[in-house]
Amino acid sequence: MDALLALEDGKVFRGRSFGAPGERTGEIVFNTSMTGYQEILTDPSYKGQIVAMTYPLIGNCGVNSEDIESSTPKVEGFVVKEVSKITSNWRALQGLAEYLREHTILGMEGVDTRTLTMHIRTCGAMKAVLSTECLDEATLVKKAQDAPGLIGRDLVKEVTCQTSYQWGEQRGEANVGRWDDSSPAKKKVVYKVVALDCGIKTNILRMLARSGCEITVVPAHIRAEEIFALNPDGLIVSNGPGDPEGIPYVVKTVRQLIGKFPIFGICLGHQILGLALGGKTYKLKFGHRGANQPVKDLTTEKVSITSQNHGFCLDGSSLNKDEIEFTHSNLNDHTLEGMRHKRYPIFSVQYHPEASPGPHDANYLFDEFIRLMEQGKIQSHPHTA
């Protein structure tokens, strides 16, 4: 079946469908990862986006039940140069094309993704339409131009949980395969953590559980007093899709919790914390999406290879440097990748420490969160020290 990808600036790419039929709009972006397409497909941060993979052959490992980051794929569409006709991996349960069709996700192959990527790098990420239903170029370009953009749009409400829940084996989508929370590597529960779900990735929850955390996942629309009533030792503000300035209710909630207990922000959570602390954000030209982003820790001068997925960035110049210390910087474009508060036990990073391109470069950040919670316990109960 023929498929057409039309960009709002008039650029059009033709190819073949390998997923579900239909038509979807979204921001067209590219990801430079060579592997990990299953994690990319199911990362809630990609809601509202059509993802093009720069690596030319995708799908040879098929799809399994272990490497998902949420219960279903969240991308609007998936564009590749060539989808593998062979599925060859001992964990695979089905092929990539079958998986996309099952979840009604549009897939398109036969596209020169090098040309597409260079176009996005030159002109910036933009609105697009992917369709198997309409192959008229002018019609689809007009649809792309009329589609809603990401600036100011609330996509978090489309991926957050609707009610609070305890992370554990009773939640079917939470624990799968050999990565479940019954793993021998899991430590005895010591810390109570609230995870503010703005589109949280499963592996964040797995890593917290292995560090000895009992986790309550709460929806993004929860009020600050409801979180405080849970009496947590710490708060995770998660990753998620879209523009952080489009979710002022989350920023307000986090602002009200500053100074109450340790807070760790990841990706969108980093931006939310920045806004809560009085900063501003801006949209990047084409964003950072891939598993090969070099980030320098400014406190140790160590460089980590990180996994990233964001189209917005925190403006460091808008933050009060008497209160905020910058801790990490992207070596490709020198954008702000991490910060911590000088008085409160608060820190955040723009990249994904739960991903493993390094493969263990960023694990220390979870250890730092545990350390801050332990300090909080000691200060609250000094007789136990």
- The answer to the question of residue 368 being in a domain is yes
- Residues 132, 249: one domain? no
- Residues 127, 257: one domain? no
Q: What CATH number corresponds to the domain at position 219? A: 3.40.50.880
Angle at 52 between CA 48 and CA 53, to 5 degrees: 135
Judge contact between 47 and 162, C-beta under 8 A.
no
Quick check: is 158 catalytic? no
Mean pLDDT of the chain: 91
Tell me the pLDDT band of 176, cut-offs 50, 70 and 90: very low
- The answer to the question of residue 334 being in a domain is yes
Torsion sign (Cα): 168, 174, 178, 179: negative
Digit-coded pLDDT (tens) for 1-50:
999 999 999 999 999 999 999 999 999 999 999 989 999 999 999 999 99
- Residues 61, 210: one domain? no
- Residues 116, 242: one domain? no
Domain of 65?
2-146
Candidate list 61, 267, 310, 337, residue with the active-site label: 267
Q: In the listed set 117, 146, 175, which residue is the last one of a domain according to the structure?
A: 146
Quick check: is 66 catalytic? no
Buried b (16+ CB within 10 A) or exposed e, 355-365: bbbeeebbeeb
Q: What CATH number corresponds to the domain at position 108? A: 3.50.30.20
Residue with structure tokens 């409160």?
344
Q: Which contiguous run of DSSP H or E holds residue 253?
A: helix 248-257
- Residues 133, 220: one domain? no
Quick check: is 267 catalytic? yes
- Residues 254, 378: one domain? yes
Q: Which contiguous run of DSSP H or E holds residue 315?
A: strand 303-315
Q: pTM for this one?
A: 0.92
Q: In the listed set 107, 122, 146, which residue is the last one of a domain according to the structure?
A: 146
Backbone angles phi, psi at 27, to 5 degrees: -80, 130
Torsion sign (Cα): 34, 37, 38, 40: positive
Rounded CA separation 212/252 (Å): 29
Q: In the listed set 146, 164, 196, which residue is the last one of a domain according to the structure?
A: 146
- Residues 187, 210: one domain? yes
Candidate list 27, 39, 245, 354, residue with the active-site label: 354
- The answer to the question of residue 22 being in a domain is yes
Digit-coded pLDDT (tens) for 116-171:
999 999 999 999 999 999 999 999 999 999 999 999 999 999 999 999 999 974 34
Closest CA to 247 of 323, 196, 294: 196
